[in-house]
Amino acid sequence: MKSILIKNGRIIDPSQNLDVQGNLLIEDAKIKGLCEATTTADEVIDATGLIVSPGLIDLHVSLCEPGFEEDETIESGTAAALAGGVTSLGCLPNTSPVVDDRSSAEFILLQAERAANCHVFPLGAATKNNEGKELAEIGQLVAGQAVGFTDADHPIENAEIMRCALEYTRMFDRPILNRPQVPDLTDKGQMHEGFHSTVLGLKGIPAAAEEIMVNRDIALAELTQGRIHLMCISTQNSVAQIRRAKQAGIQVTADVTPHHLTLTDQMLETYDPNYKVLPPLRSQEHIDALIEGLKDGTIDVICSDHTPHASEKKTDEILGADFGIIGLETLLPVCIQSLIIPGHLSWSELISKLTCGPAKILGLSKGTLADGADADVTLINPEIKYQLEPAHLKSSSQNTPFLGQELQGRAEIVIVSGEVRYRAEN
C-alpha cells in the first residue's frame, strides 16, 4: 500500500502526551511515527496551519439503518462522520429490527464495509428489542463484534435487569451504556423544567429525572463491579455524583454532547423543534458544571449523539416533533466554540475527549498516533470560519439548530486506514 507524509502540522496525540510541530508518516495503513520533512512518500500533504490528530471517535451515533432509512443510512451517516472528522463510531441499536442478535450486528458491519467511509462499531442491545425485560444475546453479539451494550434512547428502567446486565457483561469486559432518565418523570416532557418551561407552557423534565437514575446506576456498578457508561449527562448534580463515584473507585464513565455545552433551555422560546433534544437543554448553571466536569476529568468523552430525523418529523408543531438533532458535522466547531475559544480546555484536552477517551471505553485499538497504530488521522483547520449551509451537510437529515450560524473550525482532511477518504471543499 502507498505511503503518505503529512508535513509541517501541529501533531497532537494525547495518548502519548504529544503536542509537537512536525511530520507524520503513514505506511501500509499504519502509523510509522514522526519523521523528517525530507522523507519521501507516495503522497505528501502540507499540513501547515493544521492540527494533526488521531481520527476522532464518536461513542454513540444513530445511523438509523435498518428501518429508518428516511432519516439516515449507514452510507450517508458515515459520510457525515467523515465530514466531521470522525473515523470511528459506535452505532446505536435503535433500529428496526433492533440489533439484538449476531446477524443484525454483522449486517451493520457489512453495510459499513460497503460504504467504505469510516469504521463502524456496532453497539448491541442490552435487552431484547430494547424493551428492558430480558437480556439480549450478549455473548452472540460479542461474537458479532459488538463493542458495548445499550438500549439506546430507552433507559434501562428495571434495576434488576440493569444489575444482571452489568454482571453479565463483566464476562466480556464490555460496558453497559445507559441513558439515565426516569421515564415516569420524563413522560410527555418537552424541555428542561424551569422558568422557561413555565413561561412557554411546555411540560418540563426535571433535572432529578436524570440524577435519580445516575445515582442508581452508580450504586449498581459498585455492587456488580461492572462497567457503566452514562450517556449524555446534562445536570450539575449528575456531574457531582459521577465525580464522587470515580473518587471512590467505581467503574463509571460519562459523556456529554456539544449542544448541551452551548445551548440553553431559553432557546426553546422560538418553539423551534431543532432545540428539542433528550436530555433537554438545561440552564447555564448546568452548562457551567458540565464544563467543570470536563476540565477535571469527571466527564471522559464528548460525543455528538447524532440523531437524524427527516424534515417531516422535525418541522411541524413542537409537541409532535421527535427529540434529537444531528451532530457529527458540527461536533468539532461547536466544541471549539464552547471549549477552546473561551479557554476551558486545551487542544490536547479536547482531542483526548474525542479520541483516546472513547477508544478506552469501547476497548478499541484506536485513537492514537503511536507507531504501528491504525492510520486513522484527522487534520483539523482550527481557524477557518464559515456559515453552515444545508448544502454542506452530508447527513440525509438537516435537523440542526446550527444551520445558518457562523462556525469556526472543521476537519480539512480525513484519513481512514491509510487512505484519504475526505477533503473539505473550499
Partner 1 sequence: MNIDHEYRTDISSGWTRKHILGLQDLSKDELNIILNQAAEFKRLAAIGETKLTPLAGTVVANLFFEPSTRTRISFGLAAKRLSADTVDFTASGSSLSKGESFVDTAKTIEAMGVSYVVVRHKTPGAPQLLAQHLDANILNAGDGTHEHPTQALLDIFTIREHFGKIEGLTVTLVGDILHSRVARSNIWGLKKLGAHVIVCGPTTLMPTELSQLDVEVSNNLDDVLDRTDCLNLLRIQFERQRGHFFPSIREYAHLFGMNKQRISKAKDDVLILAPGPINRGVEITPDVADGPHSVILGQVSNGLIIRMACLYLLHLQRTASLGIPG
Least distance in Å: CB of 203 to partner 1? 8
- Specify the residue, 111 or 399, whose C-beta has the smaller distance to partner 1: 399
Decide if residue 316 touches partner 1 (CB under 8 A). Answer: yes
At residue 65, what is the residue type? E
Q: How far is CA 350 from the centre of its chain?
A: 13
- Residues 166-205: x where in contact with partner 1 by CB under 8 A, - otherwise, as a string: ---------------------xx----xxx-xxxxxxxx-
Q: Judged by CB, which is closer to partner 1: 9, or 204?
A: 204
Site for partner 1 in 270-299 (CB under 8 A): 270-271
Smallest separation (angstroms) from partner 1 to the CB of 285: 13
Candidate segments 76-84, 298-306, 318-326, 408-416, binder of partner 1 by CB under 8 A: 318-326
**Annotated binding-site residue? 22:** no
Determine which one of 71, 100, 217, 305 is catalytic: 305
SS3 of residue 412 by DSSP: strand
- Confirm whether residue 101 is marked as ligand binding: no
Q: Report the distance separating Cα 320 and Cα 273, nearest Å.
A: 9
**Distance of closest approach, residue 316 Cβ to partner 1, in angstroms:** 5
- Give me the phi and psi of 400, to 5 degrees please: -135, 135
Instruction: Give the shortest CB-412-to-partner 1 separation in angstroms.
Output: 36
Binding track, positions 206-235, relative to partner 1; x by CB under 8 A: x-----------------------------
**For residue 410, what is the enclosing H or E element?**
strand 406-416
Contact 300, 30 (CB under 8 A): no
Count of residues binding partner 1 (CB under 8 A)? 23
Give whichever of 315 and 381 is closer to partner 1, judged by the CB atom.
315
Find the binder of partner 1 among 317, 343, 390, 425 (CB under 8 A): 317
CB of 66 to partner 1, least distance (A): 23
Which part of the chain contacts partner 1 (CB under 8 A), choosing from 19-27, 229-237, 316-324, 328-336? Answer: 316-324
Q: Shortest Cβ distance from residue 271 to partner 1 (Å)?
A: 3
* One residue of 67, 183, 297, 320 binding partner 1 per CB under 8 A: 320
Select 208 or 384, whichever has its Cβ closest to partner 1.
208
Q: Check whether 324 is labelled as a binding-site residue.
A: yes
Cell numbers of 126, please? 442490552
In the residue annotation, 316 being an active-site residue is answered as: no
Choose between 20 and 319: whose C-beta lies nearer to partner 1: 319
Q: Which three cell numbers stand for residue 372?
A: 504501528
42 among the known binding-site residues? no
Residue where the block lists cell 499504519: 30
Of the candidates 39, 215, 237, 315, which one interacts with partner 1 according to CB under 8 A? 315
189 annotated ligand-binding residue = no
Helix, strand, coil content of the chain in percent (nearest 5): 35, 25, 40
Alpha carbon distance 393, 386 (integer Å): 13
Q: Is the peptide bond before 97 cis (omega within 30 degrees of 0)?
A: yes
Q: Of 175 and 204, which CB lies nearer to partner 1 in the complex structure?
A: 204
Q: What is the C-alpha separation between 332 and 412, in angstroms, rounded? A: 11
387 DSSP β-pair partners: 406
60 is in an annotated binding site: yes
Distance (Å, rounded) from C-alpha 355 to C-alpha 293?
A: 18
Q: Smaller CB distance to partner 1: residue 312 or 425?
A: 312
Nearest approach in angstroms of CB 180 to partner 1 is 21
Catalytic center residues:
305
- Applying CB under 8 A, the residues found at the interface with partner 1 are 187-188, 193-195, 197-204, 206, 270-271, 312, 315-320
Which residues fall in the annotated binding site for substrate?
A: 94, 309, 323-324
Binding residues: 60, 94, 305, 309, 323-324
Which residues make up each annotated binding site for Zn(2+)? 60, 305
